[in-house]
Structure 1
Amino acid sequence: MLQETLVKDWLVETLPYEVMWLDETGKLLYANEKFRNRLGYNKAELLKLSIFDINPTVTQESWAKHWATVKREQTYYFKGSHKSKSGKFYEVEVFTQFFSNNRNNIICAIVNDISHSSFYKSLMDSTQDIANVGGWKLNLQDGSIIATTEALKIFNAEDSEALTPANIIHQFKDPEKIKNLLRGVMRTSAAYDEVLETKGHPSKFIRAVAKPVLKGDKVYKIVGVYQDITERQLKENNLQLFKEVIDNVEDLIYVFNRKGELIHYSVSVMNQLGYSKKQLESITIFKLDPTITEKWWKEHFNEIVDKGLLRFEWLALKTDGTKFPVEISANHLRYNGEDYNCAVIRNVTERKKRDLKLYEALEEIKSLKERLEHENEYLQEEISDKINADNIVCKSEIYSKVLEQVHLVAPTDTTVLITGESGTGKELLASAIHTNSLGKNRALIKVNCATLPKELIESELFGHKKGAFTGAVTDKVGKFTLADGGTIFLDEIGEMPIDLQSKLLRVLQEGEFDELGGTRTIKVDVRVIAATNRKLEDMIKEGTFREDLYYRLNVFPIYNIPLRERKEDIPLLAQFFLEKFSSKAGKAFKRLSKKTVDALMAYNYPGNIRELENLIERAVIVENGTTLNTGSWMPTTSGPIKTAELLTFEEAQKQHIIEVLKRTDGKVSGVNGAAGILDMNAKTLFAKMKKLGIEKQTVFKS
C-alpha cells in the first residue's frame, strides 16, 4: 500500500503539467513541483495560499459559481490568468475534475501555461481583418507588454518596452492624441483605428489600431497593431492636394470617356452651372448640352485623340436655361488602356464685355477728338518740372525757402530737427541733407522710433552682446555703429521713451555710447537728423521729453510746410506720381486733364503729399486711358482744413492699422497678413499693436 502511494505521488509530480487540488473554500490542498516552480513558491508557502492569491480576478461569488459548475459537470475546461509570486500574470488553460473521498470534496486542476501561444493566436484572431503586421499585447494587470518583430522594426525599437504607453507616445508628432487614444481604450474600452505621423526625418505614417480584451466589465489587456502605411498615405496626400487644386479653380473641369459619360468634375461645375452632386453622378455630355449629338461627339473625341489638344469657343448651359460664353481646352488623356477627354472650360463673359466696350470706344474716337485736342492744348503748356537732384518736386517760391535751408546746412555736421505735419516728406529732406553732406559716401541709416517696441529701441540703436537679455542669442550691431562716418535719421523722435533719451543725449554730446551687455565704450562720428510731427515743447511741459535733448536736437530747425501752403507744387507732384505709378502698373497714362488738376488744386490735403500720392496711385488702378480724368477716386470734400478734425500721429497710426486688420480679418503675420501689407516685421507690428491698445475686440467691435 505504501509502495502504491509512492508511485501515485511520483506520477503526479512528474506529469508535464501543473497540478493543484483545492477545497470548497478555494484553499490549496496540494500542488506539484512544476506548479510551484511556475508560480515561484516553495511547498510550505504555497499551501498557505488560496485560489484568490493565484488568480486575483476571482471573487468569492465567482468561485462559488465555479465550484457548483465543476461539481455538477464533474469535469470542466476554461482559460484564465495566474499571478506568480513576483507579480507577473500569464495565460493558462485549466482542466478541472471533481472528486469526493470520505465526504471530502476537492477539485483537481491540471494547468497548462499557454501565455506564449495564446498571445499569437489572440493576435491573429484580433488583427486578421486589418493587417497581420506589427502586433502587440499590453497586460494591464502588471503593465507587461509583448510585441512582434515587425512592430519593433516599425519604430526601430530593440525591445517591447519601447512600445509601452509611457514610451510610445513620444514616437509621434502629436503625443497628446495617442495618449488620449490609449487612455480611452484602457478606461472606457474605446477601441481605435487612427493614422498618426511619427517624429523624425523623414517621418512615417502609422496606422495604429487597438481594442480592449474584457473580463466581465473590466479591461485587463489590450491587443493592437501598428502598420507602416507611409507610401500609401503620401500618395493619398498627393491625390488630395491635386483634388483640392482642381476643386478650387474657377475654371470648370470635366473628364469624359468615349461614351460621353462624366467620370470626374470640379466643384466649380456645381457652383457655376447649378447642378447638385446627385444630378452629376450619372450624367452624360448629351444631358449637359442637348445641342451635342452622338455623331458630333464621336468625331470630336476622335479629333482630340488624334491631335492631343483642341481649343475652341462655346456657349455653356446652366440648369436655369441661361447660357454664357466659354473658352474650352480639350485634352486627350489615356489611363488604364482607355481614352478620356479632359476639358478645361473658362468663363470669358467679362472678356467679351471688355471687347465690346473697346469696340464702342473706338467708334467714339471721332467724337472725342475735339475734346482731346482741347486737353492737349493745356497739357502742351510749358510745365517747369523743377525736380532737384534730391528727388524733391517743387516750383513754389515758399517751398524753395525750405530747400535753401537744406542746402545751407547740408555741408556742415550740424544736428538738424525737421518738424511738420505727417506726410509732408520729412524723410526726403533728410535724404537731401545727407546727399549733399560731407559724409554722403557713407550710409544714411533710417530709424522709425514709432514702429519699434519700447523694449527693442535701445538694442536697435546701440546694439547688444549675446546673452545681454532673454532672446539675445547673438551679438547685434546697433544703428549708430552702422552710421559711423555717415548720417542717422531718427524719424518720429517724439516717440522715444523718456528713459532712453539720456543715452541719446550722451551720443549727441560726447559721441559715445555703451552696448547692452558690453564692456567697452564705443566712439562714433555720426551726423544726427531727427524729425517729428509732434510739438516737443508741449511734451517737455508734460515731462515726456527731455528739455536738454530738445536743445541738442534743435540746433538747426527746419519746418516742412504742409501741401496746402504750397499748392503751386500740386500739378508737378501729381504728374510725377502719375508717371511713377503708371509705369509700375503697366498703364498708359501720360497726362492729367485740366479738370483733374483743378480738382486736385481745390482740395486741402490733411494727409499732405502722402495723401496726394495715395490718391494718384488709386486713380491709376481704377482708371484707364492716356489722360487721367476725375472719377470716384477724387476726394469728396474740400475747403479750409479744420484743425479740430486732425488726428494725432498715434491716433492715425492706430486707425490705419485697424483698417488693415479689418481687411485681413485680423490676420497679422503670414501670407496676406497685415504685417506684409504694412511692410513691417510681424513682431514689430505685434508690439506696436500692444502699445496702441489694438486688440481683436477693438478691430471687430463694429
Structure 2
Amino acid sequence: MSFHRPNLCQNENTSVFNVLHGLAQNRFVIFCRKFYYLRNIDIFLGRKISKMNNLIPFEGVSQKLIEDFPYEVIWFDETGQIVYANELFFKRLGYSKKDISNLSIFELNPTVTIEEWREHWHSVEKQGTINFKDTHKRKDGKLYEVEVYAQFFSNNGKSFISALVNEITESSFYRNLLGHTERLTNVGGWKLNLQDGSLIVTEEALKLFDTEDRDDLLPGNIVHRFKDSKQYQELLKGVMRKAKAFDEILETNDQPTRYIRSAGQAILKGDKIFKIIGAYQDVTDQQERQNALRLYKQILDNAEDLVYVYNREGELLHYSNSVARVLGFDKEELDDFNIFHLDQNITKEWWNEHMDEIAEKKVLRFEWMISRKDGTKFQADITANHIRFEGQDLNCAIIRDITERKKRESELFNAFEEIKSLKQLLEQENEYLQTEIKRNINFDNIICKSDSYAKVLEEVEKVAKTDTTVLITGESGTGKELLANSIHENSQRNKRPLIKVNMATLPNELIESELFGHKKGAFTGATADKVGKFTLADEGTIFLDEIGEMPLELQPKLLRVLQEGEFDALGSNKTTQVDVRIIAATNRNLEEMIKDGKFREDLFYRLNVFPIYNIPLRDRKEDIPLLAQYFLEKYASKAGKAFRKLSKKTIDKLMDYPFPGNIRELENLIERAVILEEGTTLFPGSWLPNSNGDVKTDDGLKTFEEIQKDHIIKVLKHTKGRVSGPNGAATILAMKDKTLFAKMKRLGIERQVNFK
C-alpha cells in the first residue's frame, strides 16, 4: 500500500487488540467483536492471554480483521489527516488508495472547521470514546447520513482517532418511517447546508414540484414556483440571515393553481447559522375548503334573512350582519345578548322545551312576532334547525320577514271570497259537462264517438275501480295497451307504476328472468342480481301483452302469482310476496290454444275473470274521421307540413276501407300521406288502399307488412336461418335480436322453416 501504516506495537498499554476491544464496547460493534473472535480463533487458541502484550503482526490483523469489517474504518491524526482507511471506505466513498495522502476530515465532512476539529480531538482524547451522527460526502459530491464511533488511542508514541462509520441513510428504520409518513401526508422535507451550499431533498419534495432535479428546489429556483415570489424570497432570506423561522401557505403558478405550505427553521452552532431545514406540504384541498367556508360565511353574513345560532342556555353564538341592520342593534350590544334580551316574552321554561323539541324533530317551522330595538314588530317565518357541534345542542334559526306575504294572503283571501259565490253557479254547468268530458279525462288518448266503442269504455270504467284481473282480447292494432293504461290510471293503484311486458319481444329463455328476476350466478351470464318486473309492479299494475306467447313451462309460475301472490326468483330459495294487479292482452284465440295443448286451461280461467273485447276499427267506423284528423295533425306538426284537414273524398275512401290492420294501419297510412302529399287539405292519392286491402301503387307492390315479411325471409335465407351473431339476420337488418324475434312472430315467420 502506498499510504503510511502506523507501526502497531505495545505502547502505553495500547495495541490493535485493545483499540478494537475498546470500540467493541459500543453497542453497534458487538457484531465486530464476535466476528473478530470467530475469524481469528486460531490465533487466540494458540496463545495465552498473557502473550497478548507481545507484538501482533500488522499484516495479519489488517488482513483478517480491519479489512473485513462491515463498517468504514478510518484513522485520523491530530491535524485531521486520514492516515489509514479500510477497503470499505474506498469502495463506499469512491476514492482510490492513492488519494489517501490528500484526504482529511475536511474533504470527508466539508462543514467541519479547523476549530471544530480541535474541539472534537480534545473531546475524544478526554472521554476516550464518543458516538454521534453526522453527514459525510462522497467523492462525487453526494451526501449520506452516518453514525460514528470514535476512540482515542496511541501507537508508537503517536496519537490517533480511530473511527468506525456506519451508513444509516438507507437502512435507518426511522428514515423509512419518515418516508412513509411523508407520502401519507403529502409532505416533503429538505435541508440546506450553508457551509457548502449543498441541498438534500426527499423524494416526496421532488414529487410535490414534479421534478427529478433537486437543484430545482434551491432557493434561487424554488421562489419562481410561486405567484408571490418576492414574499417567499424574503422568507428564505429571513431564515438564512436572521434565523427567523417561517410557516406560510403560498399559491403556486401551476394550472390549476395549488396551495403549498412551506416551513423553514435554522439550525445553529452557537450563534452561527449552520443549516436550514424545511418542509413542503400540498394543502390545496384544505385551502380550498377554507376558501369555500369563507365564501359561505360571507354569503351568510350578507343574507337578507336573519340568521341566529343559539346554544341550549340561549346564548347568541353567531348572527348574520342582517340581524343588526334589521333589528337596529349595534354589534357591541348583540355580542352580549341572549335570546331573553331579544325577546322578553320568552321564558327559560319555554326555551328549554323548545330546544328539546328541536333536538327531537331536528327541524321546526313556525311563525312568530319579532321585536325591533325601537319597539316595532313584524311577523316572521322561522325555521329552527338542530345542530350537534362539539357536544352541544345548537339552534340555527333562519328568520324571514313575511309581512308582505301576509298582506298578499289577506288580499287573496278576499278575492277568493268574491269568487266563492260564483262556484255554486258553475257547479251545475260542470255537472252537465262532466259526462261529456269524462271520456277524455278517463281515457287520455282514446278517441271515439261511436256507441259501439263507448260500451267498451264503459266496461273499462267499471272494472278500473276494482283489483280484478282483466283479459283484453282483439285483433292486432286495436289499441289494447291504451285500454290497459286507462284501467290503471283510473284505479286506486295509479300512484304506483304500470309495468309493461311484451311477451312477443322476449326470447323464451329470458322471459322468466325478466318477469321474476334472478340471483347472481343463477345461469351463465347472470353476473349480478336482477329485479323482476313483478317486484317493480308491487302495489301497482302489470300489463302482460301477447300473453299467448308465454312458454307453457312458465305458465304455472304465473298461475301461482295469480292464486297466491308469490313467486321465487331464479336461483333464489326465498319466496317473494307481491300485491300486483294483472292485465293481460292477446290477439290469439286462447281457447283454441288450450285445445292444442299450448295454453293451460286453469291459467286461462284465472286471467279471464273480466274479459274485454276490443272491437276492430271496421266495427266503429264513426271514429275513423276523428282518428284520421288526430293523426294528420300529429304528423303534419312533426314533418313541418301545413295540413289542417282531410277532404270529404279522402274521408269517404277511408270509411270504405276495412282496415285489417286496424288503428295502427290507419296511423301508418296518414303518416305516409303526410310525407308524400303537400297542401293544407289532404286529398286522395296513391297512398290510399284499395277496398280489398292492397295498397294502390304504380308498380303493383304488396302491403308494407308483406314487403317486410318477404325481405326478412330473404335475409334469413342468406344467413341460412341464423338470427343472432355478427353474421346473423338481425345484424344485416340493423335490428336488435329481440326486436327481430318479435317481428318474426307477428308476421308468422317460423324459425323452423328451411332457409337453406
Range class of TM-score, shorter chain: 0.3 to 0.5
Q: State the TM-score, normalized to the length of structure 1.
A: 0.42
